[in-house]
Amino acid sequence: MSPKLSKLQTLIIIPACLALLSGCGKSEPEFVVVKNVETPPAEVEDHSGHNHAMDEAHAHAEAAPQGLGFTFSIPEDWTQQPPSQMKLLSFKAGTPPELMAECAVSAFPGDVGGRLANINRWRRQVGLGPTTEEVADSFVQELKISGMDAWQVDFTGPGDPAGRVVVSVVFHNEQSWFFKLSGNEASVREELESYGTFIDSVQF
């Protein structure tokens, strides 16, 4: 003969049975299957201490060139380099070692501090002092990139050899895209025509 169930055992078994029976009449599970959803790499929570702009660049760089977002033609004398944390694309150009320039492409969300902040940052890179909002516009040349309004600056610093940087900027898809040719003055001057051809070839 089976032993009698205690009152405590009865109280435990009855709710358990009810819980099992409550799902018996349902033909579909109670969850939603989400298909074909891609999570952008830049939105993954990060604890590395990097700032958001650097993380965004890194996320794009890992996807390059397939996920770059635009097409382009590489000038014949340019050699493509591996992408890095801050550079989606990078090329070496010129005759080593004296006339070696670099062309790099990067993209960041928003306006990255605004035009003046970027202009002063590039001026510092070649050893020039900061400028003001009133004067900054005098350095800007308007142009088109992929049919969109863009702007460009060209700075040469002091020293021998002098550093030089040419940067073209276009705002597309809520991001600022930077195309930057840099090196000593002679190497940048040597590659200006190829750089212009490269900029003209870019199609978003």
**The predicted structure's pLDDT at residue 98:** 80
Are the beta carbons of 196 and 152 closer than 8 angstroms? Answer: no
Domains present along the chain, CATH in parentheses: 50-93+103-201 (3.40.1000.10)
For 123-176, write each residue's pLDDT tens digit: 999 999 999 999 999 999 999 999 999 999 999 999 999 999 999 999 999 999
**The predicted structure's pLDDT at residue 40:** 38
CA 50, 56, 61 angle in degrees (round to 5)?
A: 110
Nearest by Cα to 202 from 80, 72, 66, 69: 72
Residues 6+ apart with CB under 8 A from 60: 42, 67, 68, 69, 88, 107
Which secondary-structure segment (H or E) carries 193? helix 185-201
Please name the residue that has the structure tokens 């099992």. 20
**The predicted structure's pLDDT at residue 32:** 33
Tokens of residue 73, six digits: 């033609």
80: which strand partners?
91
**What's the CA gap between 131 and 137, in Å, rounded?**
10
**The predicted structure's pLDDT at residue 41:** 39
**The predicted structure's pLDDT at residue 174:** 95
**What's the CA gap between 192 and 204, in Å, rounded?**
22
Which secondary-structure segment (H or E) carries 11? helix 7-21
- Which residue ranges of the chain lie beneath pLDDT 70? 1-67
Burial (CB < 10 A; 0-12, 13-18, 19+), residue 134, is exposed
**What's the CA gap between 94 and 66, in Å, rounded?**
26
Are the beta carbons of 163 and 180 closer than 8 angstroms? Answer: no
**The predicted structure's pLDDT at residue 48:** 37
**The predicted structure's pLDDT at residue 4:** 45
Give the residue ranges of DSSP H helices in 36-126. Answer: 52-63, 115-125
pTM tops 0.85: no
**The predicted structure's pLDDT at residue 99:** 86
**The predicted structure's pLDDT at residue 21:** 39
